[in-house]
Amino acid sequence: MLTEQLQRQPDVYIPVLIPSEFKPAGKYNIGITAGIETTLAAPNWIEGLNKMNMNIVPSEHAKLVFEQTKYNQKNQQGTITGQVANTKPIEVLFEGIDTNIYKKTETIDQSVEDIMSKVEEDFAFLVVGH
């Protein structure tokens, strides 16, 4: 979320947030979000996606949920006046691994052996993530 006043408008602005917090600040705005782990997105998330020029999500599932979620807008009399639906492009930037490439093998590359031989601890955790 943008927390300070910009001195000038950036050409490209890329917030990494939940969609309901997206606020365009650049000439071109790309929203990056972890997406959704359900089958229906909240209306304010769809409205947030529509504030950006394009959006990036980590899975085909998230993209599909955002593209398929639609809500009818109604006035006080209950008459449908419009629809809340995604209107902006969504691209998938997969954050997983290709297990055809990264898999257990019986051989260890010498460069890995060289690096691991420098680790002094008998036991250590490797953490990969955000």
Per-residue pLDDT, 96: 80
User: Does this model's pTM top 0.95?
Assistant: no
| Residue 30 β-bridge partners | 54
Centre a 10 Å sphere on the Cβ of residue 114 and count the other Cβ atoms it contains.
Answer: 9
Domain ranges of the chain: 12-96
pLDDT tens per residue, the chain (130 residues)?
666 788 899 999 999 999 999 999 999 999 999 878 899 999 999 999 999 999 999 999 999 999 999 999 999 999 999 999 999 999 999 888 888 988 888 998 999 899 989 999 988 888 876 5
| Rg of the chain taking only CA atoms, in angstroms | 21
Centre a 10 Å sphere on the Cβ of residue 33 and count the other Cβ atoms it contains.
Answer: 24
Q: d(Cα 58, Cα 121) in Å, to the nearest integer?
A: 34
